[in-house]
A and B are shown apart, each in its own frame.
Chain A
Amino acid sequence: MRIFKSWRYPASWKFFRLDDRLLLMLMAVIVGLCSGLAALALNRSLIAMFDWVHQYHHIWWSFVLPAIGAALSSLFLEKIVVEGAGHGVPEVIYSVSRYGGLLRFRSSYSRLISSCLTIGSGGSAGPEAPVVMSGAAIGSNIAKYFSLNDRQRVTLVGCGAAGAISSIFNAPIAGMVFSIEVILGEWKSVNIIPIAIASVAGAEISRILQGNQIIFSHLQFNINLLDIFSCLGLAILTAVASIMLTRMLRSMYGISNKISAPIWVRAAAGGCAVGIIGLFLPVVLGEGYHAVQTMIGGTFSQGLALVALASLAKIVATSLTLGWGGSGGIFAPCLVIGSLVGLTYHQCLILFWPSISWVNEGYFALLGMAGLISGMLQAPLTGIFLIVEITGGYEVILPLIIVSAISTSLCHYIEPASFYLKELVERGHLLRPGTDARVLSDLDVREVIEENCITLKQNMLLRDFINIIKISPRNYFPVEDEKTDNFLGIIHLDDIRPYLFNPDMYDVVILGQIMDTQVDVVHPDDDLSEVLRKMDTHHLFSMPVVSNNKFIGLISKASILDQYRKELVVQTSQ
């Protein structure tokens, strides 16, 4: 009976209490399956919706279809589920670092529906970030249901993200690497093992339901040394494209925010623009996996000018869709842009060196995808493993690594924060495990406060104060008002030391005259990093903590260091 009652609290079973690894593995399987199913659901409904919308494509007003989809999706997000626009990955990363991976239950389906509307109607966006968000939310809510603690919940959030990516791409290693590299930012075996298990579970459910297929199968490449060298140029080109996409997305976002129309009107306007581009270049519409397949297969027969134009158009269309309020991720657009850039590069090579027999164009499309993914995410491992797995192309691993590495480094040089992290970095919300910012954000002013202080009254004589100094180990003495007990100021022993040994002053000076009233105070809810910055700029060693005009305690660098070190040790050694 007790076991029956406590099934929702598996962490309290004696079997799991001593070491929770087994528990996490078990949970990882559940989370991986659930998030894998969510990813498949989005994939299937996207296909269905695309087919349904496709029948209207020959009508002259078909360009408003993406507008309708984008408007509906932003209305849904804003009015029904009340969640912010965007792809949701930064929210997941922030939640992992700040709130122990707490995510709302509705996040597990909201992005699925909204991105389905946006992408299915033709908006240029990808379904991956939405499934990552929803997988993460599933993981978080399963952890909440079973009352797991923050560390376990964070792992399950990672499991959800990994399961979703693995399932949608049928790529377990990419899912695992993405989750650890981008979402958690922490390579530790306690995380890696459950996440790997969730990845496999997610990929397996996708294989059962959809068959074990490699998404972008390609021809065999005969790569010679020249082809490997030629990828250097491609790496630079993909880095440029990544930077363009990042900048374009942000500027579109900025422009759209300046317009005072409701968000769904803006989304509709963006969708409309995408629809118009789509009239001339249908390759930009939707997630574009079909286009990627033809490019990798080497059957995308377009001229240099058209391919180059298409890459630019896709960049613009993606920025219009996502920047103006549509919902979706950048994974799929990256793959499309990457392969378009790869093709452009290939056509350029042929143009300049027609005599050399270059390898099949699919090779460059593949490398282009890796370059763009790595550049945008600044996660080289994710780029490499994703491309290897979705194309089944192990023979290109060497140029793949070269392109990924160069593209990541170049992009990092120009844009230090990746697309997912840029917002967080700007708001100071990027708190990777084991960093100074993370330790400080976890510590609370209340935890470093020293409360055993003797408070003085404003009208106390210096003589009485001398007696207090005798028994107090401190150098700082807060002064309060007699009647209201409000904090008035502080006396620092260093400031009055010369007068302490002058008995003539003992009965003429009252503390109200010698206290320092222009003192910086700390509020118990203040951010500790802010407090430390104040201490550094004003060369303070100790500050009073005051709430509601009442003195609560002192905070000093010594006590902060003491607590900081304990926190750092505990956070980094698991």
Chain B
Amino acid sequence: MKLTIHEIAQSLYLPLGTVRRWIRQGRIPIHKNGSDFVFNEAILSKWASAHNLAFAPPKKGPEKQQDPELENLFSAIKRGGVFYDVKGDDVASTLKVAVENINVLNNHSKENLYQRLLERENLTSTGIGKGVAIPHPRSFLSDADYRPFITTCFLEKPIEFAALDNKPVFVMFILLCPSVKSHLHLLSRLAFCIRDDSFVDFLKTFPSSDKLLLKIADFEEQLDRTDQY
């Protein structure tokens, strides 16, 4: 098998200089033939594992897929759906109704999610003020295969949520993510929007889902601008 020395160094996860030196010193079973580096893949791979080194030769064909990009609020909210006039008198009943609405999950997962949301609310309230709550489980669900989503629930009547500023909550964003990274990513973006009073005022008008998504896209554009420097 013939590879350039750069490819060899990459597949062994070693600096180029080290591989060059090892070949010169005869420490690695690679033979230099003119400008080519010749080796037997099986022997090299055996050698690498005997010496506690990783060896992953470049694959022929399509590249392995990269980690999916972190999703934005826009697609997460779109996936989760927007619901209006969610009924309920207290936190538990409201959450129960809200979770029933989530059509991304099956019944078993819904029950599971509901238990976890309650558990999380019992620790501290997710009502972050200004009448907004972001219920989310403490750890992500393990039994369901899903992509991050945010389900927006406008409540029929504001309920007492033991929020930070003690204001009754009129809208909930139920946030569910498969990884800590995407959870933090979405949470911080959502918090950025809610920090802006005009956004909260906008929410109080119970906008239609299209309008809401437009507004979100608008805010995300702002966010992306400030992130670049």
List 28 A-B residue pairs with CB atoms under 8 Å apart, sorted by A's residue number.
A11-B31, A12-B31, A12-B38, A17-B31, A18-B43, A20-B26, A100-B24, A100-B25, A149-B24, A150-B25, A151-B27, A442-B21, A442-B25, A446-B15, A446-B17, A447-B15, A447-B18, A448-B15, A464-B229, A468-B229, A565-B52, A566-B14, A566-B53, A567-B18, A569-B51, A569-B53, A570-B22, A570-B51
Q: Does A573 contact B (CB under 8 A)?
A: yes
- B residues within 8 A CB of A567? 18
- Residue from the list A20, A444, A446, A467 in contact with B227, Cβ < 8 A: A467
> Once the chains bind, are B43 and A151 in contact (CB under 8 Å)?
no
Instruction: Provide the bound-state CA to CA distance between A444 and B21, in Å.
Output: 10
> Once the chains bind, are B17 and A566 in contact (CB under 8 Å)?
no
Binding site for B on A (CB under 8 A): 11-12, 17-18, 20, 100, 148-152, 442-444, 446-449, 464, 467-468, 470, 563, 565-567, 569-571, 573-574
Known contacts A18-B40, A566-B53, A569-B51: A447-B17 contact under CB 8 Å: yes
Residue in A148, A468, A565, A566 with the greatest tally of chain B CB atoms within 10 Å:
A566
- Residue from the list B38, B52, B227, B229 in contact with A566, Cβ < 8 A: B52
**A444 to chain B: closest residue by CB:** B17
- Report B207 CB to chain A, min CB distance, Å: 31
Instruction: Provide the bound-state CA to CA distance between A100 and B40, in Å.
Output: 25
- B residues within 8 A CB of A565? 52
- Report B22 CB to chain A, min CB distance, Å: 7
> Once the chains bind, are A152 and B26 in contact (CB under 8 Å)?
yes
Instruction: Provide the bound-state CA to CA distance between A422 and B17, in Å.
Output: 32
Mark interface residues in B22-34 (1 if CB within 8 Å of A CB, else 0): 1111111001010
Residue in B14, B18, B28, B43 with the greatest tally of chain A CB atoms within 10 Å:
B18
Known contacts A446-B17, A447-B17: A570-B40 contact under CB 8 Å: no
- Report B31 CB to chain A, min CB distance, Å: 6
**B17 to chain A: closest residue by CB:** A447
- Report A17 CB to chain B, min CB distance, Å: 6
Instruction: Provide the bound-state CA to CA distance between A11 and B14, in Å.
Output: 25
- A residues within 8 A CB of B22? 570
Instruction: Provide the bound-state CA to CA distance between A17 and B31, in Å.
Output: 7
> Once the chains bind, are A150 and B24 in contact (CB under 8 Å)?
yes
**A573 to chain B: closest residue by CB:** B51
- A residues within 8 A CB of B28? 570
Instruction: Provide the bound-state CA to CA distance between A573 and B48, in Å.
Output: 12
- Report B218 CB to chain A, min CB distance, Å: 22
- B residues within 8 A CB of A566? 14, 18, 51-53
- Report A325 CB to chain B, min CB distance, Å: 36
Instruction: Provide the bound-state CA to CA distance between A226 and B51, in Å.
Output: 54
> Once the chains bind, are A570 and B17 in contact (CB under 8 Å)?
no
Q: Does B50 contact A (CB under 8 A)?
A: yes
Report B50-95 residues with CB < 8 Å from chain A CB. Answer: 50-53
Instruction: Provide the bound-state CA to CA distance between A11 and B29, in Å.
Output: 12
**A149 to chain B: closest residue by CB:** B26
- Report A8 CB to chain B, min CB distance, Å: 13
Report B1-50 residues with CB < 8 Å from chain A CB. Answer: 14-15, 17-18, 21-28, 31, 33, 38, 40, 43, 50
> Once the chains bind, are A150 and B26 in contact (CB under 8 Å)?
yes
- B residues within 8 A CB of A446? 15, 17
Report B175-229 residues with CB < 8 Å from chain A CB. Answer: 227, 229
Instruction: Provide the bound-state CA to CA distance between A443 and B15, in Å.
Output: 11
- B residues within 8 A CB of A20? 26
Instruction: Provide the bound-state CA to CA distance between A151 and B31, in Å.
Output: 13
- A residues within 8 A CB of B24? 100, 149-150
**B13 to chain A: closest residue by CB:** A566
**B229 to chain A: closest residue by CB:** A467
- A residues within 8 A CB of B50? 573
> Once the chains bind, are B51 and A12 in contact (CB under 8 Å)?
no
Instruction: Provide the bound-state CA to CA distance between A484 and B52, in Å.
Output: 43
Instruction: Provide the bound-state CA to CA distance between A152 and B18, in Å.
Output: 18
Instruction: Provide the bound-state CA to CA distance between A283 and B124, in Å.
Output: 100
- B residues within 8 A CB of A17? 31, 38
- Residue from the list B18, B26, B33, B52 in contact with A151, Cβ < 8 A: B26
> Once the chains bind, are A563 and B51 in contact (CB under 8 Å)?
no
- Report A449 CB to chain B, min CB distance, Å: 8
Instruction: Provide the bound-state CA to CA distance between A309 and B28, in Å.
Output: 57
Instruction: Provide the bound-state CA to CA distance between A29 and B67, in Å.
Output: 58
- Report A375 CB to chain B, min CB distance, Å: 34
Instruction: Provide the bound-state CA to CA distance between A569 and B53, in Å.
Output: 9
- Report B68 CB to chain A, min CB distance, Å: 19
Residue in B25, B51, B52 with the greatest tally of chain A CB atoms within 10 Å:
B25
